[in-house]
Every structure is written in structure tokens, then in C-alpha cells.
């Protein structure tokens, strides 16, 4: 029997967070290299001339690094929702200038943006699915997140898709944390098995 779209909501949620962890790890490694670039290398990228840091060049460079990191994780490298707002990057550059904190603030900003976007991608399908189909998937998500006892009754009491989306949003941080830990400790396979759609 072919897998239906709704039968894999829990699996898709885990898969999205697995990709996010892999992306943020790759991006972290790439962005932190800025701390070790020479003045000549920074100037070549247009990021710094002397002590002046060019916000537009930092933004362009970060977007280029993000695209490379996304390409290896099965996300669309050209998806603008992974890029950060230029005004925020300009503000970070203005605030931190040529300090090592610039790199960490830049990285935190990109990670926050991508996490927010993936959280939304995880929750929205539950709001767009019939309640009877989404509830079993929410139970799987709660099990994978390690909060099945806490959320069992809440999920059982759901009456409409909006409620399912709300509950998915409440579980999402714990699921994200579990998936991130699973990727970091190479135990993600066990977590994925809990949510693999039944054929």
C-alpha cells in the first residue's frame, strides 16, 4: 500500500529537525572560520577593509555559506526563508564590529531564523490535516519527543485541526531537542524507527 501524505507527518517532523541539525552544524563550522581568516582573506571577500566591516558583504558571505550548508542537507539552497534579514545583520555588524562576538551573533541570528522556519514547517501540516488523521501522528510525535504521558489526554481531546497545530507547536521544542541529541550522539536511527510510516 502506498504511503499517504498524512501517514508520514511524524516522520516528516523528525526528518525536518534532523536536516536542521545537520544544516546548523555545517553552518556553524563555516561561519566560525571567519574568526581565523586573515585580513587579506576578509578583504578579498569584501568583508573588511582595515577596521571597517561591510555589513552588505557580511550578509552576502553568510548567505553564500548558508546556501552551501543547505545543499548538503536536502533543503532548497535558494529558499530565502533560511536567509536572515539584512537589517538584522547590519545591526549585528554595527554593534559588534570587528570583535569575535560578531561571528557568534551572526551565527545565532541564522540559526534562530532557520529554527523558526522549520518549526513552522513541522506545525503547519497538522493544521492542514483532518483531526482523525493527525491525532495518531501527534501521538507518534509525542512518543518520539519523550512526552507521550504528558500529552496523551491533550491529544485525545483535540477536536479540530487548529488545535492539532497548537499541540504540535507545544511538542515541537522537545522533539527538536530529542532529534538534535540523536544526531549528535548517532542514535537518530532509533528515534526515526519510532515514527516510520506503516506501509
DSSP string, 83-138: SPPHHHHHHHHHHHTTSTHHHHHHHHHHHHHHHHHHHHHHHHHHHTS-HHHHHHHH
For 158-194, write each residue's pLDDT tens digit: 999 999 999 999 999 999 999 999 999 999 999 888 8
Task: Decide if pLDDT at 145 tops 80.
Answer: yes
pTM of the model: 0.90
The per-residue pLDDT of the chain, averaged, comes to 90
Closest CA to 66 of 79, 51, 47, 49: 79
Q: Grid coordinates in use for 98?
A: 570587528
Closest CA to 61 of 41, 38, 40, 91: 41
Most confident of 1-10, 72-81, 109-118: 109-118
Amino acid at each position: 500500500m502506498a504511503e499517504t501524505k498524512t501517514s508520514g507527518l511524524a516522520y516528516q517532523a523528525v526528518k525536518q529537525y534532523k536536516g536542521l541539525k545537520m544544516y546548523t552544524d555545517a553552518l556553524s563550522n563555516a561561519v566560525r572560520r571567519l574568526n581565523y581568516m586573515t585580513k587579506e582573506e576578509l578583504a578579498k571577500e569584501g568583508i573588511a577593509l582595515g577596521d571597517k566591516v561591510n555589513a552588505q558583504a557580511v550578509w552576502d558571505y553568510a548567505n553564500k555559506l548558508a546556501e552551501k550548508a543547505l545543499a548538503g542537507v536536502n533543503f532548497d539552497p535558494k529558499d530565502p526563508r533560511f536567509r536572515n534579514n539584512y537589517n538584522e545583520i547590519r545591526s549585528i555588524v554595527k554593534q559588534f564590529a570587528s570583535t569575535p562576538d560578531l561571528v557568534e551573533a551572526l551565527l545565532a541570528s541564522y540559526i534562530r531564523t532557520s529554527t523558526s522556519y522549520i518549526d513552522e514547517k513541522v506545525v503547519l501540516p497538522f493544521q492542514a490535516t483532518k483531526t482523525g488523521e493527525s491525532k495518531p501522528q501527534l501521538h507518534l510525535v509525542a512518543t518520539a519527543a519523550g512526552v507521550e504521558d504528558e500529552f496523551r489526554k491533550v491529544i485525545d481531546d483535540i477536536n479540530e485541526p487548529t488545535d492539532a497545530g497548537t499541540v504540535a507547536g507545544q511538542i515541537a521544542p522537545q522533539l527538536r531537542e530529542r532529534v538534535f541529541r540523536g544526531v549528535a550522539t548517532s542514535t537518530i536511527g532509533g528515534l526515526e524507527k519510532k515514527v516510520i510510516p506503516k506501509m
